[in-house]
Amino acid sequence: MSDGEQTIRSLDEQTVQRIAAGEVVERPASVVKELVENSLDANASRISVRIDGSGTERIAIEDDGIGMSEEDVQLAVEEHTTSKIRDIDDLESGVATLGFRGEALYTIGAVSRLTIRTKPRGGEAGTELRLAGGKAEEIKPAGRPAGTTVEVTDLFFNTPAREKYLKTDSTEFSHVNRVVTQYALANPNVAFSLDHDGREIFSTTGQGDLQSAILSVYGREVATAMIAVGNERSEGDEDGDGLTVSGYVSHPETTRSTREYVATYVNGRYVRSSVVREAVLAAYGNQLAPDRYPFAVLFLSVPGDSVDVNVHPRKMEVRFGDEASVRETVRDSIANALLDDGLIRSSAPRG
Ligand code: ADP
Ligand code: MG
């Protein structure tokens, strides 16, 4: 800007839209997260995720959820449209769905070519809606079983600065893989599949048990090294803090060099928590080699008023009311499980 002559102007709608989109949709994995959450919110029992290249080429997510009518799908891509809350009272009384802001489809649509093919459960006709850069290009009837397929191609085609910031295809895909894995482990009753460039990366059965979901996503070597964790006491929970921990952690010799395999869910939601991660590491004590991390899939259930998962919805951060008790409960539950299995010895044989 040159000296002394600034001009304040109102940005046109398209510019505003693209700036806002950049904040919600950072990379292909953020698109996948939003679309998978929509499929889960739509009660899907099967969710298939197909990625080409880094995901900017193509992301296609197909579900067998409740689907949308022709009218609804047109509304769904508008700004701030949602079927999940009505007003601030709904928000304050607690939201059961993963989404509620009504901005994902709108913002994804603004920075890509978006095609939605959908049919509601129970009779009504199917619809295909096509948008490019946020503008509706076509709407027509389309036959398909009940459910929804959202296809995103040419992501960031109209925001070159955003596209430049992306890493290699394999890095971007590894972010996508992590997102789909997080949801597949949290929802063992949903059959997930992930394909990359036409090759299946994993698929879960949707039969409902966490152990088989772990086998599907991490493979046999890891699955056989997992042991069950749980502090679920008889009803009443004498401690009175209402905190329960369940899930699986790996044998101390089955580790990786990054912490990303320590997955924590609080009241069903994936979160990042350094409190939990440190408690996990503390349970292993000196049984872990330096800079090695175990696999862990931990579900914490805490009373709603003692946790704030909305610190920032996109960062998935969490704040516990009583960090010390969370730390202690997680550490003790894992240490007990490792002890019971005789695994707090590095020489334990592998299954
Ligand atoms: P939000 O999820 O916050 O409501 P979105 O922009 O992600 O906002 O979606 C807008 C609306 O579109 C949702 O509230 C829902 O009614 C509908 N919708 C989106 N994805 C699906 C889907 N896979 N199946 C059925 N309905 C969907
Ligand atoms: Mg959503």
Ligand nearest to the CA of 66: 1
Which of ligand 1's atoms lies nearest the C-alpha of 97?
2
Give the pLDDT of residue 12: 87
24-56 residue pLDDT tens: 788 999 999 999 999 999 999 999 999 999 999
**Ligand 1 neighbour 69 (Cβ under 6 A):** no
Asked if residues 55 and 31 have their Cβ atoms less than 8 Å apart, the reply is yes
**Ligand 1 neighbour 104 (Cβ under 6 A):** yes
Instruction: With a threshold of 0.90, tell me whether the complex ipTM lies above it.
Output: yes
Percent of the chain exceeding pLDDT 70 equals 92
Which of ligand 1's atoms lies nearest the C-alpha of 67?
25
| Cβ-Cβ contacts under 8 Å for 230 (sequence gap 6 or more) | 244, 245, 246, 247, 333, 337
Q: Ligand 1: which of 105, 114, 116 to mutate, judged by most atoms within 8 Å of the beta carbon?
A: 105
**Ligand 1 neighbour 76 (Cβ under 6 A):** yes
Neighbours of 44 (CB within 10 A): 25
Q: Look at 308 and 106; give whichever has higher pLDDT.
A: 106
Q: Look at 261 and 341; give whichever has higher pLDDT.
A: 261
**Ligand 1 neighbour 174 (Cβ under 6 A):** no
229-257 residue pLDDT tens: 987 654 445 555 789 999 999 999 999 99
- Angle between helix axes 210-218 and 169-186 (nearest 10 degrees) is 170
Q: Exposure of 234 by Cβ count < 10 A (0-12 exposed, 13-18 middle, 19+ buried)?
A: exposed
Give the pLDDT of residue 349: 41
The pLDDT mean for the chain works out to 89
pTM of the predicted protein model: 0.89
